[in-house]
Structure 1
Amino acid sequence: MTRLRIALLSYSTKPRGGVVHTLALAEALAATGQDVTVWTLGRSGDTGFFRPVDPAVQLRIVPFPDGPPQETVGERILRSIAVLGDAFEPFSAAYDIVHAQDCISANAVGGRCVRTVHHIDHFTTPELAACHERAIVEPYAHICVSAAVATEVTDSWGIRAAVIPNGVAYDRFATTDPAARADWRSGLGRYILTVGGIEPRKGSLDLLEAYALLRTAHPDVRLVIAGGETLFDYRDYRARWENRATELGVEPVVLGQIAEEDLPSLVAAAEAFAFPSLNEGFGLAAMEALAAGIPLVVRDLPVLREVFGPAARFAATPHDLATELGHALTTDNPARQAAGRDLATRHTWDTAARSHLDFYRALLSATPRSPVGTSSR
């Protein structure tokens, strides 16, 4: 078959879910023989991604210097769109497929792109709200990583999206170094882990409340929070979280961004993994925990029911979350663990890449009036 020239666009070099997805998909597409380039913004002097990238993938990291101290989030979003768009424009005709993974990169390239809608956001910042809206209605084709999100897109915008689930780096999380796991346990003791930082969408305040309840029966278990690199300013939310932790008399361990090579052993050394997000499209970090064989407790959302089914425990409230985390700590359930590992093994990036290729080729062969995955309005 004809080798495709594919541009995948993201907004950052940091380890957020969409960026992790972009790199893994790019490498899997390149492994099938495609000509793949990843475009992104290099913020604050970044000249590379948070991890090494297969040399088969070409990288275009567009310099994006820090703005003035008084720059607002909205102004930074608009500047991001302009800088990435200006850099990409001279090269746009070189690609058969231009595929944006977020609202910033979709706005930078306009309606010429395929768009993966990872989840639906509800922004109050006017520039972000407009960015989000345009990034859904303007692209000519759409992919979602779960059927639940695809249904939201159809119900809200009348747009039909293809569903292509994420992959997971199964071996990387399933076969970690015993010494590295022991080091984490030695330093942290028994712990519940969450990955994604402290922010509203991740349900951080609810997890804090649940942890305070959990400590009544499990005073030796710590809550460890990793990750959290973000474009947005969550200082007010973080201050509320810290004040509430003081009121509750709990002291979670906040690790911040973890080196890529250290993350699998940190996950594999946990007693349980908490994923109380209020809004998700798939739950890649939670799938990685299943690959590591770690008991998983997630927010009771339709999308997470769809993705994780019998492999996870579900909780709707902080009280429920504390209860289910307690069960995860004390109730050995080999059947659920086996279901989790089996689920993770079935989500491969090779499968995701081949589904994307089928989708791309269908788009390229379709008539302009009826491209796959376009608006049904």
Structure 2
Amino acid sequence: MKIALLSYSTKPRGGVVHTLALAEALAATGQDVTVWTLGRGGDSGFFRPVDPAVRLRIVPFPDGPDGETVGERIRRSIAVLGEAFEPFTARYDIVHAQDCISANAVGGRCIRTVHHLDHFTTPELAACHELAIVEPYAHICVSAAVATELADGWGIDAAVIPNGVAFDRFAGTDSADRANWRSRLGRYVLTVGGIEPRKGSLDLLEAYVYLRSAHPDVRLVIAGGETLFDYRDYRVRWEARAAELGVEPVVLGEVAESDLPSLVAAADAFAFPSLKEGFGLAAMEALAAGVPLVVRDLPVLREVFGATARFATTPQDLAVELGRALTDDDPARRTAGRDLAARHTWETAARNHCDFYRTLTSQ
């Protein structure tokens, strides 16, 4: 099959990580795969090398004019990607969009993976989100919980194909690399995904205050955060609240792809207090690394992680469970977490995608 996978960025966000890993796994089964995306800020490649078996079409997306709003940037993203892709549409048996921007760029002629559902207040984003659900002719979700949301909210019957995880990368990190992170950061609780509303960053900040009272030597470390959306106001609120609380988390920003596995593996615990998720790929990577995991008590995270994670609702709960993760050695839970992560392979995800694609092309 000739397959086009479409994304909106070259940066290391969960949907982009998914797109590249799926593309490589599909290519390994013998499919003809091309990844289309926007090259923002002069990017001519992705955040990591991509298997040469996968073709790349990175559409230049120059910076907009001063004062360009988020809504204007969304509209321009859709237009630029759509105009570039239009002449090539007929070349592909499958056009598969991984986010609302790329789905809007190709209209209703695509399959859509709905990784999670959001509630936007920016009108352009709200419209983009809605159209990217109702217009595609077929849907995939990475968890049953999100598929249920689609069924309940829109009457859409979506296939469920869970994410894979790069198990070996996170399970087999170098001891010297882990030691370097510990030397630099000391004992730390890690979260990956940056500072933004959906990631529950303010709740984690509050939890850190409670945690420090019992574990004053433990630091909160925040990695990642590259995003198309404008969370500057939220970031200002977060920084102001940190100052009020008298805490100084370590904000690393984007971490090199080669450094991320050892950063995760060296953590004493991994916090994942997201308010909205579709699967929790970063949390699954932490399990692969053998790191104790504490997540928000959401139906989707109960579904995906079960007994391998500790669950919390409030900042106080989060602090309590992180404290337990730091002090209670639980080899059985750690082994179960590694086993769960090892079962989520991209090879299996690719086979399931191929089976789903064939049901569509045979109609």
In the alignment, which residue of structure 1 is the partner of 2:345?
A: 348
1:165 is aligned to 2:162: yes
Deviation per CA, 1:108-153, whole angstroms, max 9, x where unpaired? 0011100000000100000110000000000000000000000000
The unaligned stretches of length 5 or more in structure 2 are none
1:40 is aligned to 2:37: yes
Runs of 4+ in 1 over 3 A off after TM superposition: none
In the alignment, which residue of structure 2 is the partner of 1:313?
A: 310
Matching residue within 132, 147, 150 for 1:150: 147
Matching residue within 189, 193, 199 for 1:202: 199
1:180 is aligned to 2:182: no
Rounded Cα–Cα distance in structure 1 between residues aligned with 2:344 and 2:219: 30
1:130 is aligned to 2:127: yes
The alignment partner of 1:99 has SS state of strand
Deviation of 1:157 after TM superposition, in Å, equals 0.3
1:282 is aligned to 2:279: yes
1:259 is aligned to 2:256: yes
Rounded Cα–Cα distance in structure 1 between residues aligned with 2:82 and 2:244: 46
Identity %: 85
Matching residue within 28, 31, 56 for 2:28: 31
Rounded Cα–Cα distance in structure 2 between residues aligned with 1:46 and 1:183: 30
Deviation per CA, 1:250-307, whole angstroms, max 9, x where unpaired? 1100000000000000000000000000000000000000000000000000000000
Q: CA RMSD in A?
A: 0.3
Deviation of 1:93 after TM superposition, in Å, equals 0.3
Rounded Cα–Cα distance in structure 2 between residues aligned with 1:192 and 1:70: 37
In the alignment, which residue of structure 2 is the partner of 1:370?
A: none
The unaligned stretches of length 5 or more in structure 1 are 367-377
Rounded Cα–Cα distance in structure 1 between residues aligned with 2:210 and 2:240: 17
In the alignment, which residue of structure 2 is the partner of 1:52?
A: 49
Matching residue within 61, 66, 72 for 2:69: 72
Rounded Cα–Cα distance in structure 2 between residues aligned with 1:69 and 1:205: 29
Matching residue within 284, 295, 298 for 2:295: 298
1:80 is matched by which residue type in structure 2?
S
Deviation of 1:324 after TM superposition, in Å, equals 0.0
Deviation of 1:216 after TM superposition, in Å, equals 0.3
Rounded Cα–Cα distance in structure 2 between residues aligned with 1:291 and 1:38: 27
1:340 is matched by which residue type in structure 2?
G
In the alignment, which residue of structure 1 is the partner of 2:215?
A: 218
1:120 is aligned to 2:117: yes
Deviation of 1:69 after TM superposition, in Å, equals 1.2
In the alignment, which residue of structure 1 is the partner of 2:108?
A: 111
Alignment map for 1:78-117 (pairs within 5 Å) = 78-117=75-114
1:239 is aligned to 2:236: yes
Rounded Cα–Cα distance in structure 1 between residues aligned with 2:294 and 2:336: 14
Deviation of 1:106 after TM superposition, in Å, equals 0.2
Task: Say how many residue pairs are matched.
Answer: 363
In the alignment, which residue of structure 1 is the partner of 2:361?
A: 364
